C-alpha cells in the first residue's frame, strides 16, 4: 500500500501571549506559556483514500492540516507527503497538492472567476498550452461556466467555495486537503460539494478532510481519526468505530422522578447498557444510554421509573452515530 | 532551480503583474485622485517660492546657480511628483502583503510552488503605471501652466531613470513588507522614512542648501539620485550619459537593497511559518 501521507510524532506548539520589542531588546527571558495544539500525532493515509479528521473546534485538526500543507513548520516529529519530506521537500509537495483552507476569503473579489483561476494557474506552473482548457473544464466541473466572467464580489458563499475548490484542483493534485469544506454552505451546496469529493475519490485522488459534521465524515470518509485536545483518540473506518462501542442502539430517555432517586435509577439502567450522558433539565432526568437492544432496556427503565415514583416522559431510539463514538471517547459532545 | 521552475516562475511573475494591473484599473477613482494632488501640492510651493523670491532677477539667478535650471515650477513639480510616486512605492508592497494576509489569499499563494519572491516583486512592475501617470499629469501641468515643454526624448530618458530607480525604491518597500509580515503593521516606520526622504533628498530644494553632514546622509539615500537625475534629464536637457554615474550608484543601491529585502522576507516568512502568522489578521 502506497502512502500519500505518513506522519510520525507530529507536534505543534504555539506561544501564548506576546513578547514586546522592549522585552526582546532587553533580552529578558521569554516567559510566555506554550500551548500544544497538535500532540504527537501519527497518521498514515493511503493513496486514493478519503481520510477524515473529526473533532470539535480547537481540537488541532486545522493545525495538522496546515502543517501537512507546508504552511506551518512542525515543532517536532516528521512527515512525508506524496513521498517528499514536509520541510525539505515543501516545494515538491506543493506541486502536487491542492488545498481548500481559508475558504471564500482567499479570492480576489475584483477579478472574475476566470481571472482568479488564470492567476493561480500561473502560480501552480500549469503549462500555458493547457491553462485555458483546464480552467474551462474546472469551471464546468464546479458549475460556474455561466458566471466565469463575473466579478467574484457578485458571487454567493456557495459559488465562492466552489471556485476555491476549482482553484485547488488547478494543479491536478494527487492529494487534496479540505479544511471544513462545507462550513457556511447551504444544504444543497454542501450536498453538491460532498458529491464532488466522492467523484474525486473515484478519480483516484487522495483526500484529507477535516470536519466537525459527523454525518459528513460518516458519508465521505474511508477512515476517520477522531481528534481531541491535539491527540488522535481513535482511528478506524466509520463502521469499525461505531462497532467499537459494543452497542447497537442509542436510547435517549427523559424521566420525571424526584431528584434524590437519580443514583438508584441510573444504577438500574446501567445494568442493561452504558450510561454515557446524564443531565437534569427542568426537573427531569435526561439519560443517553448505549445498549445492545432497546427492547430489553426500555421495560427496565419504565419499571425503574415507577419504583422511584416517577414516569418515563420521552424515549428516542437511534442507531449508533459517530457523535456517540466521540462522546464515549471524550465524555463530551462534538459541538460543546 | 530547474529550467521548468525558472520558466514557471517567470510566467507567475507576469501573472502577478497582470493581476495587479487588472485590480488597479478596476478602481478608477484612485487615478482621479492622482490628478488633483500632483498639481495642487507643488503649485502651493511654486507660489511660496514666488513670494519668497519677490520676482527679482538676482534671486532667480541664485536659484539657477544652485539647481542648474531656471525652471522653478518644473523643479518643484518634478520633486513632488517623485515624492508622491515614492510614497506609493513605499506603502505598496507592505499594503499589498497585508491586504493578501487579511483577504486570506496569502496562504493560497504560499500553497503554490511559485517562488515567494514572485508575490513580493511581481506587483513592482505595476508601480511603473503610477510613475507614468503621475509624471504625465505633471508634464501636462507644467506645460499648460508654466510653458515648460518636455519633449518625447526627455520623457524617454526620464522613463529610463525611473526604471533604474525602481529596484532600489521597491526594495525599500519590500523591507517594509517584511516588517508587516513580522509585526502586522509598518505605518510608523514608513512615515518616519518618508519624513527623512522629504527632509533630506531635495524634493523641494537642491541638497546643496543642506548642512554638510545632511548632504552626506542624503547621498546615501536612493531618492536623492532619482530626483536629481529626473530633473537633469527633464529640465536641463541632460543626456543619459551625463547622469550615468548617478544611475550606476542607484542601480548598485538597488541591488544591495534587493538582496537585503529578499533576505529579510525569507527570514520573516520562516518566522511566520513557525508561528502560523501567514493567515493572521
Q: Which of A115, A124, A167 lies closest to B113 in CB terms? A: A124
Q: Does residue A39 contact residue A230 with C-beta atoms inside 8 Å?
A: yes
Confirm or reject contact between B15 and chain A (CB < 8 A).
yes
Domain A3-237 is found in CATH 3.40.50.300: yes
Residue A43 burial (CB count, 10 A): 19
| C-alpha of A295 from chain center | 34
Residues of A in contact with B114 (CB under 8 A): 122-125
Q: Which of A72, A97, A108 lies closest to B19 in CB terms? A: A108
Going from the C-alpha of A218 to that of each of A54, A200, A235, A251, B200, the distances in angstroms are 10, 17, 13, 20, 67
The CA angle B261-B177-B274, to the nearest 5 degrees, is 90
Residue B204: strand, helix, or coil: coil
Which residues in chain A show pLDDT less than 50?
Answer: none
The CA angle A209-A213-A218, to the nearest 5 degrees, is 75
What is the reported pLDDT for A124?
Answer: 95
Residues of A in contact with B110 (CB under 8 A): 71
Q: Which of A15, A102, A111 lies closest to B23 in CB terms? A: A111
Residues of B in contact with A36 (CB under 8 A): none
Residue B123: strand, helix, or coil: coil
Confirm or reject contact between A124 and chain B (CB < 8 A).
yes
Residue B280 lies in a domain: no
Positive or negative: CA dihedral A81, A87, A93, A99: positive
Mark residue A246 as left, alpha or beta (left: phi above 0; alpha: psi -120 to 50; beta: remaining): left
Q: Which of A101, A121, A167 lies closest to B107 in CB terms? A: A101
Q: Cα Rg for chain A, rounded, in angstroms?
A: 24
Q: Does residue B247 contact residue B76 with C-beta atoms inside 8 Å?
A: no
The ipTM of this complex is 0.81
Q: How many domains does chain B have?
A: 1
What is the reported pLDDT for B237?
Answer: 85
Confirm or reject contact between B276 and chain A (CB < 8 A).
yes
Please, which residues have CB within 8 angstroms of residue A137's CB and are 6 or more apart in sequence? Answer: none
Q: Which of B104, B109, B276 lies closest to A72 in CB terms? A: B276
Residue B99 lies in a domain: yes
Q: Residue B236's closest CA among B80, B84, B41, B65?
A: B65
Residue B281 lies in a domain: no
Residue B184: strand, helix, or coil: coil
What is the reported pLDDT for B280?
Answer: 60
Residues of B in contact with A108 (CB under 8 A): 19, 23, 103, 105
Residues of A in contact with B275 (CB under 8 A): 14-15
According to DSSP, the residues that pair with B140 across neighbouring strands are none
Minimal CA separation from B113 to chain A, in Å = 5
Q: Where are the domains of chain A?
A: 3-237, 246-319
Residues of A in contact with B103 (CB under 8 A): 105-109
What is the reported pLDDT for A328?
Answer: 80
pLDDT in single tens digits along all 281 residues of chain B: 688 888 888 899 889 888 988 888 888 887 777 778 888 888 888 888 888 888 788 888 888 888 888 888 889 988 988 888 888 888 877 777 777 877 778 889 989 999 877 777 777 677 677 778 888 888 888 888 888 888 889 989 999 999 999 889 888 888 888 888 777 777 888 888 888 999 999 998 999 999 999 999 999 999 999 999 999 998 888 899 999 999 999 999 999 999 998 899 888 888 888 877 776 65
Can you spell out the DSSP letters for B166-183?
HHHHHHHHHHHHHHHHHH
CA gap A17, A32 in Å, rounded: 6
- Domain A246-319 CATH superfamily: BMC (bacterial microcompartment) domain (3.30.70.1710)
* A209 CB-side CA count, 13 A: 30
What is the reported pLDDT for A263?
Answer: 87
Residue B125 lies in a domain: yes
What is the reported pLDDT for A336?
Answer: 52
Residue B185 lies in a domain: yes
| Closest residue in chain B to residue A164, using alpha carbons only | B108
Confirm or reject contact between B3 and chain A (CB < 8 A).
no
Residues of B in contact with A66 (CB under 8 A): 276
Q: Which of B11, B105, B107 lies closest to A71 in CB terms? A: B107
Q: What is the pTM of this model?
A: 0.81
| C-alpha of A4 from chain center | 18
Confirm or reject contact between A61 and chain B (CB < 8 A).
no
Amino acid at each position: 500500500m502506497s502512502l500519500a501521507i505518513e506522519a510520525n510524532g507530529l507536534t505543534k506548539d504555539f506561544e501564548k501571549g506576546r513578547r514586546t520589542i522592549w522585552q526582546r531588546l532587553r533580552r529578558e527571558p521569554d516567559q510566555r506559556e506554550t500551548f500544544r495544539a497538535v500532540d504527537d500525532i501519527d497518521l498514515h493515509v493511503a493513496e486514493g483514500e478519503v481520510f477524515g479528521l473529526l473533532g470539535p473546534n480547537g481540537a488541532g485538526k486545522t493545525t495538522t492540516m496546515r502543517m501537512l500543507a507546508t504552511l506551518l513548520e512542525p515543532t517536532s516529529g516528521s512527515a512525508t507527503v506524496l513521498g517528499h519530506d514536509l520541510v525539505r521537500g515543501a516545494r515538491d509537495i506543493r506541486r502536487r497538492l491542492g488545498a481548500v483552507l481559508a475558504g471564500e476569503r482567499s479570492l480576489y473579489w475584483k477579478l472574475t472567476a476566470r481571472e482568479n483561476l488564470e492567476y493561480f494557474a500561473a502560480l501552480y506552473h500549469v503549462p500555458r498550452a493547457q491553462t485555458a482548457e483546464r480552467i474551462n473544464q474546472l469551471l464546468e466541473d464546479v458549475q460556474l461556466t455561466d458566471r466565469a466572467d463575473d466579478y467574484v464580489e457578485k458571487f454567493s458563499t456557495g459559488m465562492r467555495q466552489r471556485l476555491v475548490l476549482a482553484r485547488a484542483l488547478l494543479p491536478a493534485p494527487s492529494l487534496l486537503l479540505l479544511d471544513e469544506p462545507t462550513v457556511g454552505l447551504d444544504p444543497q451546496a454542501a450536498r453538491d460539494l460532498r458529491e464532488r469529493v466522492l467523484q474525486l475519490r473515484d478519480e483516484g485522488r487522495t483526500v484529507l478532510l477535516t470536519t466537525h459534521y459527523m454525518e459528513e465524515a460518516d458519508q465521505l470518509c474511508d477512515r476517520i481519526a477522531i481528534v481531541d485536545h491535539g491527540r488522535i483518540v481513535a482511528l478506524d473506518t466509520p463502521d469499525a468505530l461505531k462497532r467499537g462501542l459494543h452497542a447497537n442502539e442509542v436510547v435517549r430517555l427523559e424521566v420525571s422522578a424526584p431528584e434524590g432517586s437519580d443514583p438508584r435509577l441510573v444504577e438500574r439502567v446501567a445494568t442493561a447498557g452504558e450510561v454515557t450522558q446524564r443531565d437534569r433539565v427542568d426537573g427531569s432526568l435526561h439519560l443517553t444510554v448505549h445498549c445492545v437492544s432497546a427492547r430489553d432496556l426500555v421495560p427496565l427503565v419504565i419499571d425503574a421509573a415507577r419504583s422511584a415514583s416517577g414516569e418515563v416522559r420521552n424515549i428516542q431510539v437511534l442507531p449508533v452515530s459517530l457523535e456517540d463514538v466521540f462522546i464515549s471517547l471524550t465524555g463530551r459532545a462534538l459541538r460543546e | 532551480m530547474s529550467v521548468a521552475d525558472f520558466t514557471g516562475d517567470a510566467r507567475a511573475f507576469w501573472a502577478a503583474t497582470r493581476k495587479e494591473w487588472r485590480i488597479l484599473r478596476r478602481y478608477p477613482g484612485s487615478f482621479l485622485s492622482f490628478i488633483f494632488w500632483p498639481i495642487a501640492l507643488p503649485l502651493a510651493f511654486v507660489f511660496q517660492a514666488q513670494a519668497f523670491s519677490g520676482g527679482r532677477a538676482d534671486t532667480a539667478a541664485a536659484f539657477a546657480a544652485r539647481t542648474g535650471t531656471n525652471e522653478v515650477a518644473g523643479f518643484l513639480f518634478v520633486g513632488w511628483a517623485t515624492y508622491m510616486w515614492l510614497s506609493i512605492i513605499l506603502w505598496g508592497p507592505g499594503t499589498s502583503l497585508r491586504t493578501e494576509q487579511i483577504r486570506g489569499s496569502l496562504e493560497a499563494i504560499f500553497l503554490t510552488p511559485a517562488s515567494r519572491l514572485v508575490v513580493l516583486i511581481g506587483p513592482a512592475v505595476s508601480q511603473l503605471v503610477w510613475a507614468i501617470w503621475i509624471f504625465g499629469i505633471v508634464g501636462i501641468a507644467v506645460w499648460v501652466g508654466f510653458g515648460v515643454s518636455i519633449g518625447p526624448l526627455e520623457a524617454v530618458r526620464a522613463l529610463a531613470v525611473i526604471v533604474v530607480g525602481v529596484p532600489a525604491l521597491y526594495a525599500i518597500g519590500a523591507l517594509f513588507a517584511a516588517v508587516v509580515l513580522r509585526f502586522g503593521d509598518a505605518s510608523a516606520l514608513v512615515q518616519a522614512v518618508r519624513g527623512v526622504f522629504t527632509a533630506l533628498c531635495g524634493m523641494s530644494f537642491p541638497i546643496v542648501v543642506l548642512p554638510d553632514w545632511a548632504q552626506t546622509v542624503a547621498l546615501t539615500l536612493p531618492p536623492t539620485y532619482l530626483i536629481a537625475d529626473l530633473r537633469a534629464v527633464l529640465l536641463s536637457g541632460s543626456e543619459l550619459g551625463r547622469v550615468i554615474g548617478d544611475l550606476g550608484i542607484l542601480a548598485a543601491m538597488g541591488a544591495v537593497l534587493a538582496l537585503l529585502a529578499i533576505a529579510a522576507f525569507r527570514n520573516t516568512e520562516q518566522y511566520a511559518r513557525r508561528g502560523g502568522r501567514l493567515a493572521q489578521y
